[in-house]
Amino acid sequence: MLLILQHNDTVPPGYLGDAIARAGVETTVVDLWAGDPVPSHEGWAGIVSLGGLMGAYDDEEYPWLTTEKAMLRAAVTAGVPVLGICLGCQVLADALGGRAYKAADTEIAFAPVDLTAAGAADPVVGRMTGSVLTWHQDTWDPPPGAEVLATSDRYPQAFRLGSALGLQPHPEAGEEIATGWASEPKGAAMLDRVGVIADELLAAIRASNPEPMAARLFDAWLAEVAGTTPPL
């Protein structure tokens, strides 16, 4: 059974959900934004922490963030595979001894990330070789002992530490999800702030079709959860 922690209803599993369905994996979705309690780390084959609109440091406004961090830390200590995406990556980094904080600049792009040597050799991140949606205004310092697997020209984009894998971009998001974000007031304001035109961003996603790359990446992570990750 896979646990999915959802921080907002507008940030769903997307292509990850498709990969889970292909693999026939049973899931439990916990809607933290709706008041669902954070469950124990025990009894899960793997845990996913998705993106969201809040900051990983907004514990006072969202007290369940503190509980989530403690649970993810316990999961990684126990060797449970944990995947954090965007906010989930920042929460995971913070939980493991790194630091999540407001970035100097908002980063919105549909472009490749730069894989480090370790990232290129990684059985999951090594498959993130095409353009991927990046949309965030926070960033993170890696936890002690973590290996950074990908970067952009401004921010770290992926890390591994034990059974934890953090991805700053949104490989789960295609045109449909991005269209929803661009139409939200907060998303539209972020686009305006960085001078990104929504129609151009969405057209780039449509033309590239990131779904096959996302399928390869998430299939590999699910195989890793099952202990059968194929080589690159």
For residue 185, is pLDDT > 90? Answer: yes
pLDDT of residue 116: 99
Q: How many domains does the chain have?
A: 1
What is the chain's mean pLDDT, rounded?
Answer: 97
Residue 127 placed within a domain = yes
For residue 111, is pLDDT > 70? Answer: yes
Q: Which domain holds residue 171?
A: 2-226
pLDDT of residue 101: 98
Q: Euclidean distance between the first and final Cα of the chain, in Å?
A: 26
Higher pLDDT, 231 or 103: 103
Catalytic pick from 68, 107, 172, 224?
Answer: 172
For residue 215, is pLDDT > 70? Answer: yes
Residue 79 placed within a domain = yes
Residue 216 placed within a domain = yes
- Which residues, 6 or more positions from 101, have their beta carbon under 8 angstroms from its beta carbon? 57, 138, 139, 140, 141
Residue-wise pLDDT for 50-60, tens only, equals: 999 999 999 99
Say whether 175 is catalytic.
no
Q: How far is CA 115 from the centre of its chain?
A: 16
Residue 232 placed within a domain = no
For residue 230, is pLDDT > 80? Answer: no
Catalytic pick from 89, 170, 175, 224?
Answer: 170
Residue-wise pLDDT for 95-108, tens only, equals: 999 999 999 999 99
CA distance 210 to 222: 18
CATH number, domain with residue 160: 3.40.50.880
Catalytic pick from 7, 41, 68, 86?
Answer: 86
- Which residues, 6 or more positions from 44, have their beta carbon under 8 angstroms from its beta carbon? 1, 2, 3, 75, 80
Pairing of strands 2-6, 46-49: parallel
Residue-wise pLDDT for 136-168, tens only, equals: 999 999 999 999 999 999 999 999 999 999 999
Say whether 7 is catalytic.
no
Per-residue pLDDT band for 231 (boundaries 50, 70, 90) equals low
For residue 91, is pLDDT > 90? Answer: yes
pLDDT of residue 228: 83
Say whether 89 is catalytic.
no
pLDDT above 70 coverage of the chain, percent: 98
